Structure 1
Amino acid sequence: MIAFLFALSNAHFAFAQEQNNPPAPEPPQSDPAPAQPDPAPASQPEPAKPEPAKAEPVQEVSVRGDWLGDATDKRIKSYPGARTVLDETALHKSGARSVEDALRAVPGVRVHDESGLGILPNIGIRGLSPQRSEQVLILVDGIPINVAPYGQTGLSLFPVTLESIESVDVARGGIAVRYGPNNVGGVINIHTRRIPKKLTLGVGETVHMGADGRLLSATYARAGGYVLENLGLQAQLVEEAGTGYRPRSGTRVDNVILDADWKPSKENRLTGRFQYYKADTDLPGALTPAAYESNPNQSQRPFDRFEGDTLRGSASWTLSSGDHEFTWTNFVNQSYRSFEFGSPITAGVPVTARSTSPRHFFVVGSEPRYTVVFDAAVHHKLTVGARYVHEQLGYKSDVSTFATGQYLVDNLWDFHDNALAAYVSDTLGMLDNRLEITPGVRVESLGLSYRDQQTGKGTTNVTNDVLPGISLGYRVAEPVFLYANYNKSFRPVQFTQITYGGELRPESAINYEVGTRISPIPDLTVNVTGFGIDFRDKLEFQGTNIGFRNLGRARHLGVETTVKAALSKQYAVEAGYTYLDTEQLGGKFPGNELPYASHHQLSVRARYAVRNFTWVVSGTYQSSAFSDGENTHVETPDGTKGPIPDYWLWNTQVTRQFDVGPTKVRLALAVNNLLDSRYYFRSVSYSNGRMPGQGRSAFVRLELEL
């Protein structure tokens, strides 16, 4: 695996515009239990019962340099910021069809699922735009999932399938010191299933049933375990095929993940991952208001479709000894994605041409990190690290006119960048470590380059930024934890923005939180967080003659509250509420609210478990919002602008787990959008108008594990 990664990272950038080849990043893990974020050891074993050691047994390292740490209840209760972990119940027992479905329940998170299948999610946090998930950092086991983490943060390829996911860790607020660019709203770290300690074979089949009898099946297979006491291997396969809930939603997804974890000695651990992912789907697209009222499940977009694939690989070496830990993580991906769509892109308008937008990406990154724990005047946990990322993008857009047969290449561009970052943080423990203060700073240097293959025109953009941060956590008493943090975050200038020229600075934001986490009794936890985002230097398009300029500024203020209570062994409830107030302070519409920024969000979940049965009912509410910065109150006839109405969504799932001889069996039946609520959002990228949400649907799932 390591040899493969380094050979690939040194390979010449030879993807031609007409080729669809890809190579790869990401680290491993497996089996219901949370993992870890920050580029850290890819795959971890399940906790094992003590056994007599032969070779060096797998065990946790003593010093952890990743900032979030394991997503355990104990760790979360002492985390100095707002944080939510979606566990086994939230992901696999609450009626969620996809990771995006489950994320709706997280306070402050807004989700627009463009495909209705979880393939093209649009995720925003705390009033930041959800379009293409451009303003949230999404990781898989600590590795950035974006096809270009610096130069193109838009998530136009999402190589994640629910079946291979173990938990999702959502840390809101800015934590740029450890994680770098594009985490103004926070970090979403998706944990894949860890390699089980014992050899495990598993298969599963899920059949989704939508409107008019449309079926989508998801097949899952898994084989893994420790073939030697210090060597774990795992293979996972997910295949989805069928149709979504609307016409023109035929879909095929393949996801293959191979993990390895080797501990040759007590001090050394090597982990690695290889992934191949491919998605091919039709996009039913948006509707005009009249068409939506007539039949929200129809499609007015006969030519829209998406395809993409990626090869991703990662390898990590951890050397730990006493109070020292050194981790070196490397990742690489080669990806392709293309949208095909009818022009014009407004629903209901006759299509006169077909356009495509193929993109080819190559990304390689390396991050060494060293952590040491020591006592001086106070207790210290000092971490220093650096990261290098190189990105290349082949960018093409073209159009074929139906009437004349004319074919025109609009753009044929090449981009590349080199990003170098260094960071240091020091957690100071005082008052018997009941008080922890962590100051830190990150320095980012990024150079972007652009060249037009048709005209020879080119330009460059250089960014140097300093990102300071500080967090404070204080355990007043065992049941009461107070926290506060202040961070500067940034989103780099994007590849396509530099094509217009001009002096452009990265978008920046000041993030701050103040909150408390209270557990008056062991089975009750209450969390209250006040937060703010001062978003500055937002890049706004000023027309083709000017391009982009740093003119925008916005303020986000709000409160998030969560309550978790285990009423008995059978009953448990959770609830979350977010109040958000936003205001544009600059740009074209000062004084207006930000688009897609609902004032109120509510989520509730109740679980009843008895014997082998678990019954979960969950609901999410999103209040109304504007879809544009102009705050258009009256919907336009084509549906591209106007308010987005509020809506409730209710899901329910019944799960039974039992044994048949040595085989563990799980059988589940779920109903999504139980009350068949009608809801929609507006205009995503290549489709303007009302984008319908999914009506009532159901799925049945059968899983076997040996």
Structure 2
Amino acid sequence: MYRATASLIAIALAAPAYANEKDPTDERQSQDGIANPSESIIVIGGRIDAYEVAGAADLIDGEELSEFEHGDVNRVLRQVPGVNIQEEDGFGLFPNIGLRGAPVERSSNITLMEDGVLIAPAPYAAPAAYYFPAIGRMDAVEVIKGAGSVRYGPRTIGGAINFRSTPIPTESLAGEASGQLGSRGYYQGHGWIGASADNFGAMVESYQQGSDGFKTIDGLPGAETGFQRQDYRARFAVHTNPDSPVDARLEFAYGRSELEANETYLGLADADFASDPYRRYSASQRDVFTGEHDQYRLTGTLRLPDDTQFAVTLYRNDFTRSWSKLQDIDFDGDGSFDAIQPVFDAPSSNERGLAILRGADSAEGALRIRNNNRVYRSEGVQLSFERPFETGEVRHNLAASLRYHEDEEDRLQNEEFYTQTDGDLVFVRQTAPGAQANREAKAKAIAFYLENRIEIGGLTLTPGIRYEGIDLTRLDYDRADPARLDGPARIRKTNVDEWLPALGATYALGDVLLIAGASRGFSPPGPGNPEARAEKSWNYEFGGRFRNGAIQASAIAFYSDYSNLLGNCTQSVGCSVGDIGDQFNAGAVSVKGLELAASTEHQVGREISIPFSVVYTLTDAQFESSFESAFFGSVSQGDALPYIARHQFYAETGLAFGPASLLVSANYTSQVRTEAGSGDISPDERIDERIVFDLAGRFALTEGLSLFARVDNLFDNAYAVARRPSGLRPGAPRRFVAGASVRF
């Protein structure tokens, strides 16, 4: 493995030596767009241009993010075709995101990055995204699908999402401050200030967000159901003079995030949801999430006069979280605890259970709350090299990258027992730390990627290959040994070695760019169930883009042929088989679909313009075999995958007149299944279709000062977003927001 890595890096470094030097006046190789291109994943030859990427690539830049000033990442990603979303809490705190039909659970089936660095709590050992970067502090969002996503890994079936944070400004002094206040105590504040000189730059930033929540707990009308988030960032860089022939830069970034959310996994029975979707059962009153995240990153970049680039990044992320939430209940007081889900499956047959959820008195210690206490660490080093060159009339851009990564998840969980009396939960006792779960999951991985972008007239070929070598270990300790003095009682190890080839191609025909790609998709198994196989597929795409003046459009068809799909056992999906973290094989699955997008801006006279954009995604995901599974249930060939909407549609239009603008967006999501199946969907296994409108307006008082207002869910549509893990969960109701921003 190490010899292969060294050989490929050597080839990457040596190949350009035999090539012709590029024309230094060639604008196609110039840097354009950001101060530090190493933080972007949509970079070709030192510039950003999603239009020319050999595959599906979307960039939501800062101007687009500021149109609605959303603090919910789900609302932002609706603008991108091929993105599947299952909402959960109404604020985007715990997003469930998939790409091109990949399962959405906790965004664990896609590659998540911030500034080009893996950002999931433990990307290999435990990728469920209980930490997610705050979208309200981001400068841009990049989404890569298809053959281009193999470059990033480790999860290359659906694709990759990169969040670009606020960069150090290039001006001698610059800053921005914005604030929003809204319904039910909603607030959002973001500010940064920074400066650059000839040889150094610095920036500090703060982002604050919170709400009183939109749910009301039975019998406790003043109880907290909202959240508070605090983010702090600092960046410092030293670099060569701007006129130096060699551009060298060293930057250190540190980030601190804290989140407290009074969120629960407990939903509502259908009848209760129909009468009041924003009700919350009394039994969930003690449910609360707390999380703390520390991020460290040191990046060095070197750009030579011939546009050869080197980058080295050292990174570390530490994340601690505790989510205390209702686990199960001793409904009849016999000392045996029962799962909650059967109450929602047949509420008429479980009247006693439903009454306790609503606040009826229980037996002593009958409500068990689990403290899901976990500590995560991820760290590593990644190196990248890029060199544009020419051989005769053929242009090349050779890129190579190498990453060594380690991560781990540490669970030391216990449980608390409460008695419900007059709608109040009274503490009775608790177990010792580790009595519920006492284990570690660890991963070590080395990965490299080699790619050559080859331009021959109007044809561009991008062959590439990725390698992932992963060692996974799970250590189970005796639950009566929280200090782990006796060492692990059981050790399970798994090794994965995978080569992932990819080929992308584009061909320019005037204003049309034809696109095709094929790639090997891969997601590693977890360290829990030794019978779980890696998730693998062959992915194909074909389509085209059109760009002429203010008109842009794209149409891409995709097909993913899975040889094996994995199901992840998490509490967020209501898993009750095996251990949390285990994975289960589902065998062959096929996903096919179509991604359409178009945008334009019509000018009416000198002062008035009418922007318009539309996005549509068709996704058909189904099992290709019949089987019985404790996790997936009874599956027949042709059954559709759950929580994947067949049709998604987003449209945005408005009016801009001088310093004022008004925009309205509409998002339609077709009905989805909550269980695998085919044919008509029964009401108790269905989330109904919905359409949600948002409205935003802005007025610029001066060049740097503007006023802003927004209405989320304009028509106050009450809709369900999920039935898991226990009961129906609502989307957010109408919310009015107003604020102002100033920049200098």
Q: Please report the TM-score for the alignment, with normalisation by the length of structure 1.
A: 0.84
Match of 2:454 among 428, 453, 462: 428
Match of 2:296 among 309, 313, 319: 313
> Which position in structure 1 is the counterpart of 2:711?
671
How far apart are 1:572 and its partner, in Å?
1.1
> Which position in structure 1 is the counterpart of 2:263?
283
> Which position in structure 1 is the counterpart of 2:624?
585
Q: Secondary structure in 2 aligned to 1:77?
A: helix
How far apart are 1:220 and its partner, in Å?
2.0
Distance in 1 (CA, whole Å) between partners of 2:112 and 2:45 is 16
- Asked if the contact 2:33/2:47 (under 8 Å) is kept, the reply is no
- Asked if the contact 1:421/1:444 (under 8 Å) is kept, the reply is yes
Match of 1:681 among 721, 733, 737: 721
Using a 3 Å threshold, how does the CA distance of structure 1 residues 87 and 380 change in structure 2: closer, same or farther? closer
Match of 1:575 among 604, 610, 614: 614
How far apart are 1:343 and its partner, in Å?
2.3
Number of aligned residue pairs: give it: 627
How far apart are 1:650 and its partner, in Å?
0.4
How far apart are 1:45 and its partner, in Å?
11
Matched, 1:534 2:581: no
How far apart are 1:551 and its partner, in Å?
3.9
Q: Secondary structure in 2 aligned to 1:100?
A: helix
Match of 1:145 among 119, 131, 143: 119
Using a 3 Å threshold, how does the CA distance of structure 1 residues 263 and 288 change in structure 2: closer, same or farther? same
Compare the two structures and name the one with the higher helix fraction.
2
Q: Secondary structure in 2 aligned to 1:444?
A: strand
> Which position in structure 2 is the counterpart of 1:359?
374
Match of 2:98 among 106, 124, 137: 124
Match of 2:545 among 517, 537, 553: 517
How far apart are 1:704 and its partner, in Å?
2.2
Q: Secondary structure in 2 aligned to 1:184?
A: coil
- Asked if the contact 1:116/1:244 (under 8 Å) is kept, the reply is no
Map of 1:83-122 to 2, 5 A cutoff?
83-94=57-68, 96-122=70-96
1:154-174 per-residue CA deviation (whole Å, 9 max, x = no partner) reads 111113241x11221122224
> Which position in structure 2 is the counterpart of 1:463?
496
How far apart are 1:565 and its partner, in Å?
0.9
Map of 1:186-585 to 2, 5 A cutoff?
186-198=159-171, 199-209=173-183, 214-226=184-196, 228-247=197-216, 248-264=224-240, 266=244, 267=246, 268-284=248-264, 285-300=266-281, 301-321=284-304, 322-344=306-328, 345-346=340-341, 349=354, 350=356, 352-376=367-391, 378-402=394-418, 405=429, 407=431, 409-431=435-457, 434-454=458-478, 456-477=489-510, 479-495=511-527, 498=528, 500-502=529-531, 504-519=532-547, 521-540=548-567, 544=578, 548-568=583-603, 570-585=609-624
Which structure has more relative contact order (CA 8 Å, sep 6+)? It is: 1
Q: Secondary structure in 2 aligned to 1:423?
A: strand
How far apart are 1:526 and its partner, in Å?
1.5
Amino acid at match of 1:153: P
Q: Please report the TM-score for the alignment, with normalisation by the length of structure 2.
A: 0.80
> Which position in structure 1 is the counterpart of 2:670?
623
Using a 3 Å threshold, how does the CA distance of structure 1 residues 245 and 65 change in structure 2: closer, same or farther? closer
- Asked if the contact 2:40/2:116 (under 8 Å) is kept, the reply is no
Q: Secondary structure in 2 aligned to 1:384?
A: strand
Matched, 1:157 2:131: yes
Distance in 2 (CA, whole Å) between partners of 1:60 and 1:240 is 28
Distance in 1 (CA, whole Å) between partners of 2:405 and 2:82 is 30
Rg larger for: 2
Structure 2, unmatched stretches of 5+, are 1-30, 217-223, 329-339, 345-352, 358-366, 420-427, 479-487, 570-575, 629-634
Distance in 2 (CA, whole Å) between partners of 1:46 and 1:591 is 46
Amino acid at match of 1:260: F
Distance in 2 (CA, whole Å) between partners of 1:291 and 1:60 is 52
Map of 1:593-672 to 2, 5 A cutoff?
593-630=640-677, 642-659=685-702, 664-672=704-712
Distance in 1 (CA, whole Å) between partners of 2:186 and 2:398 is 49
My pick for the range that moved more, 559-568 or 88-97, is 88-97
Distance in 1 (CA, whole Å) between partners of 2:442 and 2:36 is 39
Using a 3 Å threshold, how does the CA distance of structure 1 residues 201 and 88 change in structure 2: closer, same or farther? closer
- Asked if the contact 1:67/1:178 (under 8 Å) is kept, the reply is no
Using a 3 Å threshold, how does the CA distance of structure 1 residues 607 and 96 change in structure 2: closer, same or farther? same
- Asked if the contact 1:232/1:261 (under 8 Å) is kept, the reply is yes
Using a 3 Å threshold, how does the CA distance of structure 1 residues 97 and 551 change in structure 2: closer, same or farther? closer
Distance in 2 (CA, whole Å) between partners of 1:207 and 1:71 is 43
Distance in 1 (CA, whole Å) between partners of 2:162 and 2:709 is 28
Amino acid at match of 1:354: I
Cα RMSD, aligned residues only: 2.7
Using a 3 Å threshold, how does the CA distance of structure 1 residues 60 and 626 change in structure 2: closer, same or farther? closer
Using a 3 Å threshold, how does the CA distance of structure 1 residues 129 and 360 change in structure 2: closer, same or farther? same
Q: Secondary structure in 2 aligned to 1:93?
A: helix
Amino acid at match of 2:263: L
1:65-106 per-residue CA deviation (whole Å, 9 max, x = no partner) reads 976217999712212222222234542223634222111222
> Which position in structure 2 is the counterpart of 1:692?
730
How far apart are 1:622 and its partner, in Å?
0.6
Using a 3 Å threshold, how does the CA distance of structure 1 residues 71 and 109 change in structure 2: closer, same or farther? farther
- Asked if the contact 1:668/1:701 (under 8 Å) is kept, the reply is yes
Distance in 2 (CA, whole Å) between partners of 1:70 and 1:291 is 53
Distance in 2 (CA, whole Å) between partners of 1:94 and 1:203 is 16
Distance in 1 (CA, whole Å) between partners of 2:623 and 2:640 is 6
Using a 3 Å threshold, how does the CA distance of structure 1 residues 328 and 512 change in structure 2: closer, same or farther? same
How far apart are 1:579 and its partner, in Å?
1.6
Using a 3 Å threshold, how does the CA distance of structure 1 residues 280 and 525 change in structure 2: closer, same or farther? same
- Asked if the contact 2:39/2:115 (under 8 Å) is kept, the reply is no
How far apart are 1:634 and its partner, in Å?
6.1
Map of 1:19-98 to 2, 5 A cutoff?
68-69=42-43, 75-94=49-68, 96-98=70-72
Distance in 1 (CA, whole Å) between partners of 2:376 and 2:240 is 35
Using a 3 Å threshold, how does the CA distance of structure 1 residues 262 and 279 change in structure 2: closer, same or farther? same
How far apart are 1:635 and its partner, in Å?
5.3
How far apart are 1:466 and its partner, in Å?
0.6
Structure 1, unmatched stretches of 5+, are 1-43, 48-58
Distance in 1 (CA, whole Å) between partners of 2:384 and 2:654 is 41
How far apart are 1:374 and its partner, in Å?
2.2
Using a 3 Å threshold, how does the CA distance of structure 1 residues 319 and 140 change in structure 2: closer, same or farther? same
My pick for the range that moved more, 620-629 or 404-413, is 404-413
Using a 3 Å threshold, how does the CA distance of structure 1 residues 68 and 635 change in structure 2: closer, same or farther? same
Amino acid at match of 1:179: Y
How far apart are 1:584 and its partner, in Å?
0.7
Amino acid at match of 2:670: S
Using a 3 Å threshold, how does the CA distance of structure 1 residues 292 and 484 change in structure 2: closer, same or farther? same
